[in-house]
Amino acid sequence: MPQSWSVTGRQFLRRGAFLRPGNPFQSLKPVLWTQPLTPWQLQCIQELSSHRLQRMPVQYILGEWDFQGLSLKMAPPVFIPRPETEELVEWVLEEVAQRPRVIGTQGGPLILEVGCGSGAISLSLLSHLPQSQVIAVDKGEAAICLTRENAQRLRLQDRIRIIPLDVTLEGSWAHLLPWGPVDLVVSNPPYVFSQDIEQLAPEIRSYEDPAALDGGEEGMDIIAHILALAPRLLKDSGSVFLEVDPRHPELVGSWLRSRPDLSLDLVAVRKDFCGRPRFLHIRRSEAQHGCPADT
């Protein structure tokens, strides 16, 4: 996998003055339509094209990608944020707006994101919720570094704690609460069924971290860990929002029914823009006090 190259697509387009600052690709200056390319420009185009011919995702070639109006740095092998995840963020923001008394009574909600990747979810939530604070965890070192860099680029670093952490490790939950229990846990976890990994596009299989994708036999490995930890992490009637595979609403529902000790209810399922059930809202029952494993 090529990890470094002399120039990213975005740098090339800016340095070569192809784009007006801050404008999208459509802003290509008309005067350039007929101007021959310089040798340097030709070399850059050849280099960038060769990456694409090796099936490198365009987001890695450009070195930047937009998510919820934020421009985020992208670098392999950190997971590239997908458009449907913007819908997860929008759902969380809707819930926060509709239930301000329940979620984050004082200031904005305190949010934990499990598996932050490039920081897309955490940073877009912070940019929309100026009173909120976020704890973002990921087990991947490259993901932690990229979230840190993106938080600084967006000047959101003062409201985010970025913690390298594997949520499947025993006792990990204690590190997840630097500010005490949270109002919301949000995650786009690895949820691809192991047997489906082979069918993913070469762009995904060759360049993105397999740990960001493979959720085990039924795609439930990390989901189950997050849900098992949730009662220790959440305030009373706090919520978990998850992005999942269309088969997961059924699987997660029956998994939760098999774990009544967790006092978690699947309260809503939302479809993505293709009409597939992809997002779950799971709420901690208000009646619960203390954690099952503590008693």
Ligand X SMILES: C[S@@+](CC[C@H](N)C(=O)[O-])C[C@H]1O[C@@H](n2cnc3c(N)ncnc32)[C@H](O)[C@@H]1O
Residues marked as catalytic: 79, 188-189
Residue 226 binds ligand X, judged by CB under 6 A: no
Residue 228 binds ligand X, judged by CB under 6 A: no
Nearer Cβ to ligand X, position 41 or 157? 157
Residue 228: CA atoms inside 13 Å, Cβ hemisphere, count? 16
Residue 79 tokens, joined: 């997971």
Contact 243, 84 (CB under 8 A): yes
Nearer Cβ to ligand X, position 66 or 236? 66
Among 56, 74, 110, 212, which residue sits at the site for ligand X (rule: CB under 6 A)? 212
241 DSSP β-pair partners: 186, 281
In three state form, how does the secondary structure of 201-233 look? CHHHHHHCCHHHCECCCCCCHHHHHHHHHHHHH
Residue 242 binds ligand X, judged by CB under 6 A: no
| Cα 93 from chain centre | 15
Provide the minimum distance between the beta carbon of 211 and ligand X in the complex, in angstroms, as a whole number: 5
Tokens 């850059």 belong to 44
Among 68, 85, 132, 133, which residue sits at the site for ligand X (rule: CB under 6 A)? 85
Provide the minimum distance between the beta carbon of 6 and ligand X in the complex, in angstroms, as a whole number: 27
Give the separation between CA 278 and CA 272, rounded to whole angstroms. Answer: 6
Residue 190 binds ligand X, judged by CB under 6 A: yes
Provide the minimum distance between the beta carbon of 45 and ligand X in the complex, in angstroms, as a whole number: 29
Nearer Cβ to ligand X, position 48 or 225? 225
Among 137, 228, 244, 262, which residue sits at the site for ligand X (rule: CB under 6 A)? 137
Return the axis-axis angle of helices 83-98 and 120-128, rounded to nearest 10°.
40
Among 48, 116, 227, 280, which residue sits at the site for ligand X (rule: CB under 6 A)? 116
Residue 81 binds ligand X, judged by CB under 6 A: yes
Q: How far is CA 207 from CA 37, 79, 200, 201, in A?
A: 30, 9, 11, 10
Residue 189 binds ligand X, judged by CB under 6 A: yes
Enclosing H/E stretch for 290: none
Q: Residue 189: how many CB atoms within 10 A of its CB?
A: 20
Residue 68 binds ligand X, judged by CB under 6 A: no
Positions in the binding site for ligand X (CB under 6 A): 79, 81, 85, 114-118, 120-121, 137-140, 143, 166-168, 188-190, 209, 211-212, 222
